[in-house]
Amino acid sequence: MEQAYAVLREKIIIGELAPGKDVSEPELAEILSMSRTPVREALGRLCLEGFMEAFPRRGYRIRAVTVKDTNNLLAVRGMLEGMAAALAAQNLTSEELDTLDRLVDTSYIVGEGSSTRSFVDSNQEFHEAIARGSRNPRLHALVMTHLEECARLFYIGTRVRDINPETSGDHRAIVAALRARNSEAARQAMATHTENTRRGLLAALLAEDQEGITL
């Protein structure tokens, strides 16, 4: 079951199983070359986590990305990461700051799967490093939970628009505030980054009228 769950979850996050897509247990079992039992158990877990919806005697549907959910998720993430950045400004070592500088330079080619995956992974590593730098394990854990929930949104964003300039610019501003040991500037830079991400993502999704995106 764990293997089926991990594979299906990743396919949903990277968009291979797109929001709004209808799927069936036999179809997925064939795709994964597995029996239906582990697939059924994985589907149940994904439904509980909000990735999918079950329709008795009809099958399953990849849960739509909603504007409301996106706004709510990024609002909470912004507050958590703002606090983490403020604390990290006082606690990050010079070596950790150098690592953040290296991660800022990551970019991707729109539509290219491998570079997009590397870009998303580096983005998560950047934000995780700041959360870890807060030296508050509970805050770090909360930030990581929200980063994981945002992963599907981030992949959607990379597909519908080029977010390289926005991301690198915002990340550089965050690192500059962290290097200056300015907690309030770091908090504000992170809040600005989260808001830019929210606005850009929603504008792109609504303008493109993406299937599976609902109000």
Domain boundaries along the sequence of the chain: 2-63, 66-214
pLDDT value, residue 157? 85
Its CATH architecture, for the domain 66-214, is: Up-down Bundle (1.20)
The answer regarding whether domain 2-63 maps to CATH 1.10.10.10 reads yes
Confidence at residue 201, expressed as pLDDT on a 0 to 100 scale: 82
Which residues touch 48 (CB under 8 Å, ≥6 apart)? none
Non-local CB neighbours of 151 within 8 Å, separated by 6+ positions: 13, 120, 124
Enter the pTM of the model.
0.86
Residue 176 reports pLDDT greater than 60? yes
Q: What is the pLDDT of residue 211?
A: 47
The predicted model gives 178-190 an average pLDDT of: 98
Q: How far, in whole angstroms, is CA 194 from its chain's centroid?
A: 12
How far is Cα of residue 46 from the mean position of the Cα atoms in its chain?
17
For 123-166, write each residue's pLDDT tens digit.
999 999 999 999 999 999 999 999 988 888 888 888 888 899 99
CA distance 124 to 130: 10
- Convert the pLDDT of each residue in 24-49 to its tens digit: 999 999 988 988 899 999 999 999 98
Sign of the Cα torsion 54, 60, 61, 63 reads positive
User: Which CA distances in Å does 76 have to 70, 161, 191?
Assistant: 10, 24, 11
Helices (H), 20-163: 25-32, 36-48, 67-91, 94-104, 113-133, 137-160
Q: Check whether 190 has a pLDDT greater than 90.
A: yes
Mean pLDDT of 194-199: 93
Q: Nearest CA to 108 among 95, 120, 91, 94?
A: 120
**pLDDT, tens digit, 9 for 90 and up, residues 43-94:** 999 999 889 999 988 899 999 888 888 899 999 999 999 999 999 999 999 9
pLDDT (mean) for 102-123 = 92
- Predicted pLDDT of residue 181: 98
Contact 178, 134 (CB under 8 A): no
* Of the listed ranges 101-110, 154-163, 165-174, the one predicted with least confidence: 154-163
